[in-house]
Each structure stands twice: as structure tokens, then as C-alpha cells.
Amino acid sequence: MASVLENRDGVPVAAARREFYRRMDRDHLAPLWEVLHALVPPAPQSACRPALWKYRAVRPYIEESGRLISAREAVRRVLVLENPGLRGQSRITTSLYCGLQLILPGEVAPSHRHTQTALRLVVEGSGAYTAVDGERVTMHPGDFIITPAWAWHDHGNPGTEPVVWMDGLDIPIAQLFDATFAENYPEEVQPVVRPEGDAAARYGANLAPLEGASRFGKTSPVFCYPYARSREAIAALARAGDPDPCHGFKMQYINPATGGPAMPTIGAFLQLLPAGFRTAPYRSSDATVYLALEGEGEARIGDEVFAFEPCDIFVVPSWRPLRLAVRSECVLFSFSDRPAQIALGLWRESRA
């Protein structure tokens, strides 16, 4: 009987395997058994790492970028938040892009469109606008704004102060499917064909036009969710009941035409934590990006602790336990790829 270390021809098994792999490699084949455990692990093993970007530390770079390059020249003057475990890939998680964009008074970021869906969360300043498919909306701190896939959009600042917002896009998801397309508008600014507030009037008051379907498909036709209104809603929720042990008071931005998430690939959430509140550990398969809108606290992500204050951004990798502890009342905005995972039957969560 042949030794377990030799094949039937008496050749050592290890050497025989190496020769086998070498020959099949020429025909673009590879043995699954050598990589199976890495491909199908018992739990997510993401290269994404917990990280925190202090706005006070980042803001000088944002200001300097405004002196070095114009919005017109850059097309989009953005500092990309690269996850320390994914450097060089323009990703904050394995599936999402995030950046901080600046537009100065008098500037215009030229109109274009792309297959990626984008969100904006205004961090600082007022008076700038985003135009989407012929309608402009004025930006205010905390406002959540959507750019649907393949919708013409440009940004301008006719105001008197710089405006900074966080961009979140599903660029890596589009890249995964080789479905990345982009097109520049023939003019720098698209024509305004609808008055500001038109989308909210059509879809944002528990009413919908008789013609039915939104022109944006599965993406919300209400592309601006003013912070003042969202903040009032979540405060009312907090006055009416007890906080969830893992989330405090947390709401999801939805598409009013369908009742589903505001975007088909990206979920967006608003969360209020009462002063002194500590959450129970929570983890989910969707890596999540957080922006602190109000209050101060700590995020314990696995074994790492990050202290945050208003305008700070932190990221929680997939399946990494998160515990939040706040000193003052705190409001957090967050976004993740949860809708895409749910649609594909992949999403999971675990509470302590």
C-alpha cells in the first residue's frame, strides 16, 4: 500500500500536487481546496478596519484644498476618506465610498451623471445648492440629500460662506458588476425646470401624483430630507417611548413612494441617544459609516475605543461589535449597504 505521503506512482504527494497545480495554472485553473476556507469563512473577515476621522484635524486640509484647486478644475473638490485597511482603493468600507466635499462662495461644480447612487449629508455652512434632474435644493447643516443613479446633478454656492458636506456613494458596488458609466452635461449648469420644493410637494406629504411611478425608479423621488424636520421626528419618538437597548432611538430614511429604503443599494439612518445612555453590544453584516451631528461620546468597536464629537466620522466594519456611550444627548447619521444585502438575502444581525 502506498504511503500517505506518496501517490500510487511512489511520488511524494506534496511534489505531485505542486506539479499538478503548475500544469493546470497554464490553462487558468486553480484548486478550490487550497482557498475554500478563505472564500467561505465561518464569519466575515473584512480588510475594513475601525477608524475615526476627527473633523477638527481634517478641516485644515479641506480649507487648503480650496486654495489649491477650484471646484471647476477638480470637477468635485473632495478629500476621500480611505479606510486604513483599504488604502489606495478609495473606499471607506469594502462596498462604499466616502469623502468630504467643499464648495466656496461663487463656485459651481459642473453637471454630470453616473450610474452610482450618491448621498450628501451637509456638515458645515449654508447657502449652497444641489441640483438634481432640473430641481435645486438649498443646503443646510444636517440635511440628507440624494443623487439618484443616472440623474443629472451639479452643485453651486451663490451664498457667502464655504459649505462642506459628506459624500457617500456605492462606487465599489457598481465596480463589482462592471456597471460604471458616467457622462458630462453639455453645459456647466443644467437648466432649472422645476421650482425648489417640487419633489417634496409631490411625494413628501403622504400624497403621490396620479401618474404614479417616480422618475428615479427605486430611489426616493424626495431627494432632500431637511434635518430640521427629521430632528423633530426623532425627538418626538424619544418623548413617546423607551430607547432600544442597542440603538437608542433610530429611524431609517425611506422612499415615500414604496415604503422601502431611500436608495436601493445604500441605507441611511438617524439615531438619537439620550444623555448618559450606553448601548448594548450590537453587530451586523453591513459595515456602517457614522457622522456625529450633535453631542459627544465614545464608540467601542470591538476592542478599540474612539471618542467623537460633532462632525466626526467613524466606521464600523462588518460583524464587528459596536457599543456607544454618550455624555450629552447625541444624534448620529449613518449609512451602509444594508438594502443591497437584504435584497440579496445576505444581511444578518446579532444582539448581545
- Confidence (pLDDT) at 205: 87
- Confidence (pLDDT) at 352: 77
Query: Residue 190 carries which DSSP code?
Result: P
| 3-state SS assignment for residue 321 | coil
The pTM of this model reads: 0.94
* Mean per-residue pLDDT, 65-91: 97
Query: Residue 329 — left, alpha, or beta (φ > 0 → left; ψ -120 to 50 → alpha)?
Result: beta
Alpha carbons within 13 angstroms on the beta-carbon side of residue 43 total: 9
pLDDT bracket for residue 321 (50, 70, 90): very high
Long-range contact pairs involving 206-213 (C-beta distance under 8 Å, separation at least 24): 206/256, 208/256, 208/257, 213/257
Distance CA 190, CA 193 (A): 9
Strand pairing category for 144-147 and 51-53: unpaired
- For 193, counting Cβ atoms within 10 Å of its Cβ (0-12 exposed, 13-18 middle, 19+ buried), the class is exposed
Contact residues for 39 (Cβ-Cβ < 8 A; gap 6+): 32
Query: What architecture (CATH level 2) is domain 41-351?
Result: Sandwich (2.60)
Domain ranges of the chain: 1-40, 41-351
Instruction: Read off the pLDDT of residues 238-257 as tens digits, 9 standing for 90 and up.
Output: 999 999 999 999 999 999 98
Provide the mean pLDDT of the chain: 95
